[in-house]
Amino acid sequence: MREPMAVTIKDVAKAAGVSVASVSRALNGHENVTDATRARIVDIASRLRYRPNDAARSLITRRTRTIGAILPALQGDFFSELIRGIDLAARTRGLHLLVSSSHADADETAAALRSMQGRVDGLLVMSPHVDPGLLDANLPDALPAVIMNARIGHSRHPTLAIDDHGGALAMTRHLFSVGHRRIAFIAGPTGNFAADERLRGYRDAFAAAGIEREAIVLAGDFSEQSGRTAGHAMADDPQRPDAVFAANDLMAIGCLLALAGRGFTIPTEIAIAGFDDVPAARYVTPALTTVRARIAELGRNAVACLAAEMEALGSSSSTPQVLPCELVVRASCGRSSR
């Protein structure tokens, strides 16, 4: 009981009374085919429900019409948005999307990189601790790749990033502008690109104000719990800051909940700001002031950049892109500066 044989190009050729070469040319839209022949072939092919075998085609064309996305995770608002942008942009170009995520460490990422090889025409890579050397060591030079959210210029591959630094800088300035001065920062995990950039933005704002010595940095790891912990630490601190800027919304929310639980009034006694504008930011009380990045756009642009790479093989062009962020001022920080 073998599987029913799929219809191949030979079957179509036979039915149409032409060679397989003509079928191939007709179906692939080559010029050198009579309209009449093409019409007959197209008609028969569809009647036979002919579907070219992708493996055979890939074998000879060396193209898969597929791109791969290697991401640290898939769940959560950030990745959810990112992958939506990627998926849409890939579909628009008729590209299939292979995904791989949840890589705990560099070894797993390397394995994922290798396993994508040969199955994709190009790769989108985001790794929080991305090491350009990892890519170079595990990817053939010829494979187009685009890196997301890593330091621009650190890799020979085109890199696109959210302007985490600029967003954090703008938020810190905003907090200054509404009258806060003792602004604590709850940091994200050290070594994580976005976390480091946000911290740098915070620090630069203090430096620009000539008060870098007054920066107060608390440890965090992007989890709500670490935000709570920081919130309790602040509540216990006799020199309590008058504002907190957390490196992401989850920590800001944890901090807010902890502080509110300890009886502090927000924003009058202490203001709170986050980063990401996750959906939940609108629902906490008071609603969270935060920084919004256009993440789907990052994904979309990354695909566009990758597609360009794939077409112009070798000519690694396209200026690095840094997508600006936007301040979203809500109730948790007092009134806006304007």
Cβ proximity to DNA: between 29 and 238 the closer is: 29
Rounded CA separation 282/270 (Å): 18
Cβ proximity to its own copies: between 36 and 142 the closer is: 142
Least Å from the CB of residue 205 to its own copies: 28
Least Å from the CB of residue 19 to DNA: 3
Least Å from the CB of residue 212 to its own copies: 34
Tokens of 280: 């939940």
Residue 104 binds which entry of DNA, its own copies, none, with Cβ cut-offs from 5 to 8 Å by kind?
none
Residue 9 binds which entry of its own copies, DNA, none, with Cβ cut-offs from 5 to 8 Å by kind?
DNA
Of 166, 121, 182, 128, the C-alpha closest to 150 is: 128
Q: What is the DSSP letter of 31?
A: S
Tokens of 148: 């997301």
Q: Are 252 and 246 within 8 A, CB to CB?
A: yes
Of 269, 278, 271, the C-alpha closest to 328 is: 278
Rounded CA separation 270/287 (Å): 14
Range 187-216, binding its own copies (CB under 8 A): none
- What is the separation, in whole angstroms, between the first and last Cα of the chain? 76
37 binds its own copies (CB under 8 A): no
Cβ proximity to its own copies: between 33 and 71 the closer is: 71
Range 269-298, binding its own copies (CB under 8 A): 278-280, 282-285
Rounded CA separation 29/237 (Å): 73
Least Å from the CB of residue 57 to its own copies: 8
Residue 88 binds which entry of DNA, its own copies, none, with Cβ cut-offs from 5 to 8 Å by kind?
its own copies
Backbone angles phi, psi at 110, to 5 degrees: -60, -45
Least Å from the CB of residue 337 to its own copies: 26
Rounded CA separation 150/196 (Å): 11
Residues in touch with its own copies (CB under 8 A): 1, 3-4, 6, 51-56, 58-59, 62, 64, 66, 73-77, 79-81, 83-84, 87-88, 91, 96-102, 114-115, 117-119, 140-142, 253, 278-280, 282-285, 313-314
